[in-house]
Structure 1
Amino acid sequence: MSDFTIKVNPASPESLKSRSAAMIKAEEMCQSQPAWYSLSTVAEYRKKRAEGLDGFIAPPLHAGARTIYAPSRDGHQIELRIIQPLKEPKGVLLHFHAGGFVIGSCKSYDNYLLHLAKELYVTAVSVEYRLAPENPYPAAHQDALDATLFALSPAGEAALGSPLRVLAGESAGGSLAMWVVLALRDQGNDVRSKIACIMPSYPIYDMTYTPSLLRHEREAVLSREGMMRFVDAAFPDVRGEARKDGSVSSLYADLRGMPPALFLCGTEDPLVDDSVFMGCKWALAGNESEVVLVPGAWHAFTLIPAGEVTEEGLGELIRFAKKYLP
């Protein structure tokens, strides 16, 4: 087994009380709004989210962001949203956005990516992968891999201005980041030499569900039913035991030969078991692995501003990436 740490960060009673109050507030907001699957179309929900009409604040856009397009295997163009650091970049952080494979956009998290770009001196590049149910598995996965192969190519490196160094993503985006690095390895690439590190935050790695999701009773940003409906929408033709295939659920894949990884999750997240289980298996396969659990934090706590708990999560991402960037 390679270097492995697993820790629950310290938190004072006052901090835990504040986080619990913020989680209750988030839960009340989510329960007051119609779920994405209760509307007539998913497109209707996506529009409400983009306009800030679903209880969340409309995503602010960074005026300095630019867009280029990467080719895909089936001919469509994959939008890449690029946010530059203030100084010469150390490399590219390729980002896959959250949203259960169903909602979200590369335009959803400009402030988050701008913060990472500034702190790490990286060019943050977010991928507009195709969404379910209109484009079910493997469309999003293929887009994520094609965008990564473009970033690794001479043409992609020239267009982005520096080499790809970090893969990152949150929730479904973290699942895609994990799937991509495994797919690269399976294509014969030495991913340890190409990718400095990978940072998947609170993803799902088991599409047949871990105990923490099956037992989850709350609804702060992500509920048990919501996650299951996301998976059913994204993988409609993959059912039952077929979902345990490593090409669908990364927890069951061969994990050898992987770069260092940070598995970041909150203790109140329904997917906390996914990060703990995957972090342990990552290390058992001979890879550097850190599992960091943030007490009292819920799903998407690094993306949705919630004070000191958000800062703690961002700080962990920055600390880890700095270890592996030149």
Structure 2
Amino acid sequence: MTYAFDPEITPWLTMLPSGPFADFRELRAMGEAAVRAGLPSYEPDIPITTRDITVPGPEGAPDVMVRVYAPAERDGLLPGLLYIHGGGFIMGSVEQFDAQATRIAAEVGTVVVSVEYRLAPEHPFPAGLEDCYAALEWTAKSASELGIDPGRLGIAGESAGGGLAAAVTLLARDRGGPALCFQYLGVAELDDRLRTPSMRDYDDVPLWNSRSSKVSWDCYLGEGRRGTAEVSPYAAPARAQDLSGLPPAFVTACQYDAFRDEDVDYAQRLSHADVPTELALYPGVLHGGIIPESTTGQRILTDTLAALRRGLGVRGG
């Protein structure tokens, strides 16, 4: 197909992978190659402290490593944000998303707890989800120690991390767990059924497409389960029937992203369930608006930080 990509990103398109990927190992190797090539750096304007902590994991499972970011100088309690990295459930790490977490801590003015959850297929659903939920419980219980205002605890994730953030939010409601004030769902991976028009059409766009999504879901759920009635809404939040009682949401979607329609639909359903919801749909760009140097990439970043400030009740946001 021919796509009306944003002209600012077209010089980058030939440098982005497009598959098809034989299996998760190729996708994971792609992510590792990006790390070796050098991740985007970020130097905060204010001092940020970071420390790695091992926290109790789910019952019967290993402990979970989290990296805690916080402004070194503070006046009173700060909001807290559980941050869940992306990577299609099969790749990614706290280290790979270190710059983004640091930026959020510095520019939003919040304590960020970034989770090193277990990856599929070695650890399929619900391993990664339960790791993230355990990290949320620890964050809420440790609010005083971390300097977090317990009434301003939010969650954020991007791509598969956005899907995990949506699922943790559902779990927190259904288990009577920690109260969340806000959920940021960035280009979230939400629906294993792969039936939306954007998922059907975008099988050849660079970076991430419907073929990548099949590999991702098969790893996360196990072979043969994708699209069946066996799949839990905590694995694929688009399947959740009841979205009432969830915290306010900010949802992003990109025009040439296979996840576009499931993100738009989830935002609409949240709104219909009386959940205060904002939806930002960015034209002409790929999954995540991936080119930060572009005008749209900068707009996505600005919108993200502003949404987090609003959602976490940061004055001036």
Q: Same fold (TM over 0.5)?
A: yes
- Give the 3-state SS of the residue equivalent to 1:231 in structure 2: helix
Partner in structure 1 of residue 52 of structure 2: 67
**Aligned counterparts of 1:132 and 1:170: Cα–Cα separation in 2:** 17
Q: Percent identity?
A: 27
| 1:114-140 deviation per Cα after TM superposition (whole angstroms, max 9, x unaligned) | 222122110122100000111111111
**Aligned counterparts of 1:77 and 1:35: Cα–Cα separation in 2:** 35
Partner in structure 2 of residue 157 of structure 1: 143
Partner in structure 1 of residue 200 of structure 2: 214
Query: Superposed, which structure 2 residues align to 1:110-125 within 5 Å?
Result: 110-125=98-113
1:60, CA displacement in angstroms? 4.5
Partner in structure 2 of residue 12 of structure 1: none
Partner in structure 2 of residue 130 of structure 1: 118
**Aligned counterparts of 1:129 and 1:87: Cα–Cα separation in 2:** 29
Change (3 A) 1:69 1:39: closer
1:304, CA displacement in angstroms? 5.1
The 8 Å contact of residues 80 and 112 in structure 2, kept in 1 or not, is answered as yes
Question: How many pairs does the alignment contain?
Answer: 299
Partner in structure 2 of residue 166 of structure 1: 154
The 8 Å contact of residues 197 and 261 in structure 2, kept in 1 or not, is answered as yes
Partner in structure 1 of residue 253 of structure 2: 265
Change (3 A) 1:75 1:160: farther
**Aligned counterparts of 1:95 and 1:304: Cα–Cα separation in 2:** 21
The 8 Å contact of residues 23 and 220 in structure 1, kept in 2 or not, is answered as no
TM-score of the aligned structures, taking structure 1 as reference length? 0.82
Query: Superposed, which structure 2 residues align to 1:25-104 within 5 Å?
Result: 25-31=11-17, 37=22, 44-45=29-30, 47-52=32-37, 57-58=38-39, 60=41, 64-73=49-58, 74-85=60-71, 87-88=73-74, 90-104=78-92
Partner in structure 2 of residue 5 of structure 1: none
1:78, CA displacement in angstroms? 0.8
Task: Say whether residues 1:318 and 2:305 are aligned partners.
Answer: yes
Change (3 A) 1:243 1:108: farther
Task: Say whether residues 1:196 and 2:181 are aligned partners.
Answer: yes
Partner in structure 2 of residue 7 of structure 1: none
Of stretches 108-117 and 244-253 in structure 1, the one that deviates more from structure 2 is 244-253
Partner in structure 2 of residue 106 of structure 1: 94
**Aligned counterparts of 1:213 and 1:41: Cα–Cα separation in 2:** 21
Which blocks of at least 5 consecutive residues in structure 1 are unaligned? 1-16
The 8 Å contact of residues 137 and 235 in structure 1, kept in 2 or not, is answered as yes
Partner in structure 1 of residue 211 of structure 2: 225
| 1:148-175 deviation per Cα after TM superposition (whole angstroms, max 9, x unaligned) | 111111xx22443314611000000000
Please, which of 222, 230, 250 is the counterpart of residue 237 of structure 2? 250
AA aligned to 1:21 is P
- Give the 3-state SS of the residue equivalent to 2:246 in structure 1: coil
Which blocks of at least 5 consecutive residues in structure 2 are unaligned? none
1:101, CA displacement in angstroms? 0.2
The 8 Å contact of residues 90 and 122 in structure 1, kept in 2 or not, is answered as yes
1:206, CA displacement in angstroms? 1.1
| 1:13-69 deviation per Cα after TM superposition (whole angstroms, max 9, x unaligned) | xxxx9x62343344311248x7764686776555434322xxxx3364879532111
Change (3 A) 1:230 1:277: same
The 8 Å contact of residues 243 and 249 in structure 1, kept in 2 or not, is answered as no
Partner in structure 1 of residue 10 of structure 2: 24
Change (3 A) 1:159 1:78: farther
**Aligned counterparts of 1:84 and 1:274: Cα–Cα separation in 2:** 33
- Give the 3-state SS of the residue equivalent to 1:241 in structure 2: coil
**Aligned counterparts of 2:280 and 2:123: Cα–Cα separation in 1:** 33
When the two chains are superposed, the root-mean-square deviation of aligned CA atoms in Å is 2.7
- Give the 3-state SS of the residue equivalent to 2:235 in structure 1: coil
Task: Say whether residues 1:205 and 2:190 are aligned partners.
Answer: yes
1:187, CA displacement in angstroms? 0.7
Task: Say whether residues 1:288 and 2:269 are aligned partners.
Answer: no
* Bigger helix fraction: 1
The 8 Å contact of residues 39 and 45 in structure 1, kept in 2 or not, is answered as no
Of stretches 216-225 and 138-147 in structure 1, the one that deviates more from structure 2 is 216-225
